Amino acid sequence: MTGARCGRRSLSNAVSVVIVGGGHGGFQAAASLRAEGYDGSITIYGEEPHLPYQRPPLSKGMLLGKQEERHAILRPAEFYATQRIEVVRGRRIASLAELPPSDWVILATGARNRALPRDGVFYLRTLGETAEIKQRLADARDVAIIGGGFIGLEVAAAARALGKDVTVYEAGPRLMGRVVAPVVSDYFLAQHEARGVRVVLNSTAAPEADLIVAGIGVVPNDELAREAGLAVGNGIAVDEFLRTSDPRIFAIGDCAEYPNPYAGARVRLESVQNAVDQAACVARAICGRPAAYDAVPWFWSDQFDIHLQMTGIATGFDRTVTRGDVASNKFSVFYYRGGELRAVDSINRAAEHMTARKLIAARARVTPEQAADESFDLKSAILAG
């Protein structure tokens, strides 16, 4: 993926890039710039004391003790030294005016957990918070989870696997209701209950337990952009090239609201895929190879031994069909809107998920009848486009 050299106006005059945010997106922007042949300076400002790390293991393997902090750290210090990437840690940037002059700024400020107006509730987004929850989990007998979304359910699964008495309180009528179809919600409800997790739907109760963890969504960190007078919607507003209203400033990852061609709408996605692919897109733009961002969205959630993999944007779906038998614990759900395939969720069907990513990318025509028919070869629809 190495391109021609870029990042230098002349032998003695290097370009500079400042990245605000030391999460997965910020790291990847720096790494991708180097991979693209960018030769100028790169500085990452991160708020946390750690080197950039990945967050998915926090609510999964780390709570279970299967993974340690060192597994989450994306690259060792040596990487940043050899790649000439300066990482300034523990530094919160409150205003773009604090930054040194640079040719380009990449905002990868992420999001923060929405908080409840009460004390004694823990939230999981950082390594520090994970360590605290893990420690308290060890001593807890019962655990209350507020929010039946991905994070809440992953923490519930981990706590239950550790033998805790676990109850999930969800304000809506079903689990993961914001993103998946009722058939998927119902499946996960049954699976959690079968493993001894109590689930209370339509609940806005303020539960008591030895440990209370809330996962009730996030708020994009867009204050820097607001303060700088950049356009902001549901997150920092960017165009299809991920440029903010100041073309020298990009925004990527959880903090950025962008026009998503698969959704046909402006969206803000919270995923590793989105952060990583947007980072690479911006690196190419800085190296003079701009292209509209159109990577296929995909997501995953692991709960107990169940692998949920999603691709596309299901928002606004008006029909779903199920491929495979739900009772077999291996099935996929195809989401349609106006007759077009928009998204596919796969449960314990990794191969089908990978095919689905290609179907969504190709805007393939798969009728609901074909999707429901297991004898129909989905791959043939990719080729047909």
Closer CB to other proteins, residue 180 or residue 199?
A: 180
Joined tokens for residue 159: 């706590």
Q: Are strands 340-347 and 306-312 parallel, antiparallel or unpaired?
A: antiparallel
* Shortest separation between residue 272's beta carbon and other proteins, angstroms: 6
Is the separation of the CB atoms in 48 and 221 below 8 Å? no
* Shortest separation between residue 79's beta carbon and other proteins, angstroms: 5
Mark residues 161-200: x for contact with other proteins by CB under 8 A, - for none: ----------------------------------------
Choose which of 23, 40, 52, 57 interacts with other proteins (CB under 8 A). 57
Phi, psi for 53 (deg, rounded to 5): -140, 165
What type of residue is 6? C
Closer CB to other proteins, residue 307 or residue 337?
A: 307
Residue 212 binds other proteins, judged by CB under 8 A = no
Candidate ranges 42-50, 203-211, 284-292, 302-310; the one touching other proteins (CB under 8 A): 302-310
Residue 141 binds other proteins, judged by CB under 8 A = no
Choose which of 14, 64, 73, 231 interacts with other proteins (CB under 8 A). 73
Give residues 7-46 in contact with other proteins (rule: CB under 8 A): 28
Give residues 275-294 in contact with other proteins (rule: CB under 8 A): 276
Total residues contacting other proteins by CB under 8 A comes to 27
Choose which of 59, 185, 260, 309 interacts with other proteins (CB under 8 A). 309
Residue 337 binds other proteins, judged by CB under 8 A = no
Choose which of 75, 91, 134, 337 interacts with other proteins (CB under 8 A). 75
Closer CB to other proteins, residue 37 or residue 182?
A: 37
Choose which of 82, 234, 328, 380 interacts with other proteins (CB under 8 A). 82
* Shortest separation between residue 258's beta carbon and other proteins, angstroms: 20
Choose which of 357, 360, 370, 382 interacts with other proteins (CB under 8 A). 357
Closer CB to other proteins, residue 73 or residue 99?
A: 73
Choose which of 47, 154, 170, 302 interacts with other proteins (CB under 8 A). 302
Question: Which residues form the interface with other proteins (CB under 8 A)?
Answer: 1, 28, 54, 56-57, 70-76, 78-79, 82, 272-273, 276, 298, 300, 302, 307, 309, 350-351, 354, 357
